[in-house]
Amino acid sequence: MRTNSTKIVITMELETLHWDAGMAMFSAQSINVMIGERKNARFAGLVHPSDYETKFCQGEFYKDSSMEDVTLWLPRNEIIKDIRISIENDAQIEAPTPYKYPPIVFYGSSITEGGHSCRVTNVYNALISQHLDVDYYNLGFSIINKKSLFQRTGTNLPWYHPSYSIKTLSLKAVNADIRRDILQFPPRSWSYDRKDCFYSAFLRHSHQTASL
């Protein structure tokens, strides 16, 4: 949303709340609040439970009286039962600024999912989204079921109508059979970074001329 309210109150009640051995609460169970133009948005704070027994939480955020985008990055792990946003009575509210480009689909292992990131806004796909001003879908999840990852994601990609899809996974988590299956997957070009041990595949899905 866009608003000129100088005070914004966000309340959230979670339907589920689970401890994650590999993720901090600030990433897995929290709302990240960003204020301002996407490329230069500033981190305003978090709305998060006080512990793993408390599903209700609230946060107050302050800004100047200019019209600015307020973007909420929702919890990575949990189902939200209720969320409410309150602004000052005399404040204006508008639809958020549209993204400059059509969405990108990111799919892959826990790297894409955001594993071990301290906040969802620090995951590489979120940083790309902000820098390029492009919406995105994050279809990353643990590489435990490796074949299912590529079979399901590849089948479902057309549903998202992405401008690009980007696939990333760690070679350390991939055995020889799965690596062979990956290399037979549709993307047109592959890059292999030996230093970081990542496979990355980029596939153009439309005739959009976005200057990425």
> Which pLDDT score is estimated for 97?
95
Is the pLDDT assigned to residue 17 strictly greater than 50? yes
Give the Cα-Cα-Cα angle 92, 95, 99 (nearest 5 degrees).
140
pTM of structure? 0.72
Helices (H) and strands (E) in the chain, counts: 5, 13
Please tell me the least confidently modeled range out of 37-51, 72-86, 132-146, 162-176: 162-176
- DSSP assigned state of 182: H
Is the pLDDT assigned to residue 14 strictly greater than 60? yes
Give, in order, the Cα–Cα distances in Å from 99 to each of 129, 134, 145, 188: 9, 5, 33, 26
8 Å CB contact between 187 and 165: yes
Which residue in this structure is represented by tokens 């609040």? 33
Please tell me the least confidently modeled range out of 26-35, 99-108, 189-198: 189-198
pLDDT band at residue 41 under the 50/70/90 scheme:
very high
Residues contacting residue 46 through CB under 8 Å, at least 6 positions apart: 26, 30, 31, 32, 33, 59, 119
How long a stretch of residues is the chain?
212
Sign of the C-alpha dihedral computed for residues 201, 126, 123 and 162 taken in this order: negative
> Which pLDDT score is estimated for 9?
97
167 versus 195: the higher-pLDDT residue is 167
Give, in order, the Cα–Cα distances in Å from 170 to each of 60, 152, 187, 199, 201: 39, 19, 17, 7, 12
18 versus 211: the higher-pLDDT residue is 18
210 versus 45: the higher-pLDDT residue is 45
Structure tokens at 106: 């990111």
Share of the chain above pLDDT 90, in %: 38
Is the pLDDT assigned to residue 185 strictly greater than 50? no
Residue-averaged pLDDT of the chain: 76
47/33 Cα distance (integer angstroms): 8
Q: Which of 150, 154, 189, 167 is nearest to 104 (CA)?
A: 167
The residue-averaged pLDDT of 136-161 equals 61
3-state secondary structure 153-168: HHHHHHHHCCCEEEEE
Give the Cα-Cα-Cα angle 111, 49, 23 (nearest 5 degrees).
20
Please tell me the least confidently modeled range out of 9-23, 146-160, 186-200: 186-200
Is the pLDDT assigned to residue 68 strictly greater than 90? yes
Structure tokens at 184: 């037979």
